[in-house]
């Protein structure tokens, strides 16, 4: 076997890039370039997904990544992460309190009369999954006037923007372990490799920027029976979290912006309290940038499963931190899958040589022709 030179692809690679651009613009004279505002607004859930999986809350750049990568969420998240890797880290924020979130949706499946009430907000939960053919040829005038008409019909209300957490009610009744905030330094997954065992903060950060489908698949395995979490959604919240930092001149806390996020707490099977105390429910927690409820719920289920696995040892895949945390990152897993498209000429030549050699030997000796388990110096069984 000789070395296989890899040359001559430069022109084709340039051509492939041009073809991508040609297909993106293939509407020609009839086409209109997508604006980032259109993507961010009309494809808001797609934008949410990309900025959460990219690990960077930057809606305009998430929209740009979606446009550039022609709707491929994995590639878009990859691009966003590549961008963030070029930016300097200026600071870590103080711990932000999500109870200050400006809510647009909050629901609980634990009980209906939650303090502050249930707010459905924007959700497809109660819509029929039937095609809306009126969107095929949408009237721009109707489209542009909807917000105005919607707001006109809504009465002024006195609803607050912040709501008490549902779990605080359970805590007040002693049904949950007390929240005792700990000031430990969280694990930074962008700077440190995951060497197991890892602390829970590493698991939370890894899941917060995980690929939605991967997270769902593993959580689903737990829901279906490869686990025993049996979760109840104590609260699912979507809202804008004000980011507060000290003003450099006055030291007073100021708001520098807000982050749309989804947060979920699930209540799971009860266990004996600490130090032999009364039994209390256990909990799982999920959160992510943007509006992505399936991701937050899946993360909360896996958080609870991993807590059990970290404490007692895993009894199924979703409780195994190494199995879960090393297989949910979209950029990692997409990269590994994609690398198989790259030239493997040398390694495959080697495989071919081995196969030919094995076949020659097998034909000469009459042994196993599949090559499987073939070991001239070992036990043929």
Partner 1 sequence: MNVESNPFPRHQWVRLWCALPNDVVEKAAAKCAHSMRVDDIKSPEAGLALLTLRDGALAEPYYLGEIPLSRAHVSVSTPEGKNAEGAALIMDDRAHLARAMAILDAVLAAKLPGWESAFALLEEGARAIQKMERTRKAILATTQVDFSLLASTEGDEDE
Site for partner 1 in 14-73 (CB under 8 A): 52, 55-58
Restricted to residues 139-158, the positions that interact with partner 1 (CB under 8 A) are 147, 150-151, 154-155, 157
- For residue 8, the tally of other CB atoms under 10 A from its CB is 7
Single out the residue of 83, 80, 70 nearest to residue 48, CA to CA.
80
Question: Which member of 43, 62, 283, 294 binds partner 1 (CB under 8 A)?
Answer: 283
**154 three-class SS:** coil
Which residues in 355-371 are b (16+ Cβ under 10 Å) and which e? Answer: eeebeeeeeeeebeeee
> Phi, psi at residue 138, to the nearest 5°?
-75, 140
Q: Which residues pair with 255 in a beta bridge?
A: 244
Residue nearer to partner 1 on the CB measure, 98 or 221: 98
| 277 scored as a contact of partner 1 (CB under 8 A) | no
Sorted by sequence, the CB contacts under 8 Å of residue 91 that are 6+ apart come out as 245
| 254 scored as a contact of partner 1 (CB under 8 A) | yes
Restricted to residues 231-250, the positions that interact with partner 1 (CB under 8 A) are 240, 243, 245, 247-250
Radius of gyration of the chain (CA): 26
Question: Which member of 24, 45, 121, 334 binds partner 1 (CB under 8 A)?
Answer: 121
| 76 scored as a contact of partner 1 (CB under 8 A) | no
Residue nearer to partner 1 on the CB measure, 119 or 362: 119
State in angstroms the smallest separation of the CB of 156 from partner 1: 8
> Phi, psi at residue 94, to the nearest 5°?
-60, 165
Q: Find the part of the chain contacting partner 1 (CB under 8 A) among 130-138, 188-196, 323-331, 352-360.
A: 188-196
State in angstroms the smallest separation of the CB of 340 from partner 1: 29
| 179 scored as a contact of partner 1 (CB under 8 A) | yes
Whether the Cβ atoms of residue 221 and residue 227 lie closer than 8 Å to each other: yes
Q: Find the part of the chain contacting partner 1 (CB under 8 A) among 41-49, 112-120, 223-231, 326-334.
A: 112-120
Q: Which residues pair with 266 in a beta bridge?
A: 233, 284
Residue nearer to partner 1 on the CB measure, 177 or 317: 177
Tokens coding 91 = 């600071």
Restricted to residues 189-208, the positions that interact with partner 1 (CB under 8 A) are 189-190, 200-201, 204-205, 208
Number of residues that bind partner 1 (CB under 8 A): 86
């Amino acid at each position: 076997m000789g070395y296989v030179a890899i040359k001559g692809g430069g022109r084709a690679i340039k051509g492939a890039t041009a073809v991508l651009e040609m297909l993106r613009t293939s509407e020609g004279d009839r086409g209109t370039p997508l604006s980032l505002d259109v993507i961010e607004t009309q494809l808001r859930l797609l934008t949410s997904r990309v900025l959460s999986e990219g690990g960077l809350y930057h809606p305009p750049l998430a929209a740009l990544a979606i446009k550039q990568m022609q709707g491929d969420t994995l590639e878009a998240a990859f691009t966003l992460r590549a961008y963030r890797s070029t930016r300097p880290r200026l600071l870590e924020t103080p711990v932000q309190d999500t109870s200050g979130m400006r809510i647009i949706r909050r629901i609980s499946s634990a009980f209906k009369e939650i303090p502050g009430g249930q707010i459905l907000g924007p959700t497809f939960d109660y819509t029929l999954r039937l095609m809306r053919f009126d969107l095929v040829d949408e009237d721009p005038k109707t489209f542009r006037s909807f917000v105005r008409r919607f707001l006109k019909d809504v009465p002024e209300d006195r609803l607050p923007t912040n709501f008490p957490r549902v779990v605080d009610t359970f805590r007040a009744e002693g049904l949950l372990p007390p929240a005792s905030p700990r000031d430990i330094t969280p694990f930074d997954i962008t700077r440190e490799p995951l060497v197991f065992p890892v602390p829970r903060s590493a698991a939370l950060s890894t899941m917060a920027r995980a690929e939605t489908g991967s997270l769902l698949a593993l959580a689903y395995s737990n829901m279906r029976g490869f686990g025993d979490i049996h979760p109840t959604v104590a609260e699912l919240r979507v809202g804008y979290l004000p980011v507060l930092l000290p003003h450099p001149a006055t030291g007073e806390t100021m708001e520098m912006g807000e982050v749309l996020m989804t947060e979920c707490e699930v209540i799971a099977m009860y266990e004996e309290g600490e130090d032999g105390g009364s039994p209390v429910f256990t909990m799982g927690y999920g959160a992510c940038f943007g509006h992505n409820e399936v991701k937050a719920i899946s993360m909360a289920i896996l958080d609870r499963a991993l807590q059990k696995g970290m404490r007692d040892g895993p009894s199924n895949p979703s409780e195994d931190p190494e199995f879960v945390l090393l297989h949910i990152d979209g950029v990692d897993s997409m990269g590994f899958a994609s690398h198989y498209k790259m030239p493997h000429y040398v390694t495959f030549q080697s495989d071919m040589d081995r196969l030919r050699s094995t076949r020659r030997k097998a034909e000469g000796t009459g042994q196993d022709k599949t090559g499987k388990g073939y070991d001239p110096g070992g036990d043929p069984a």
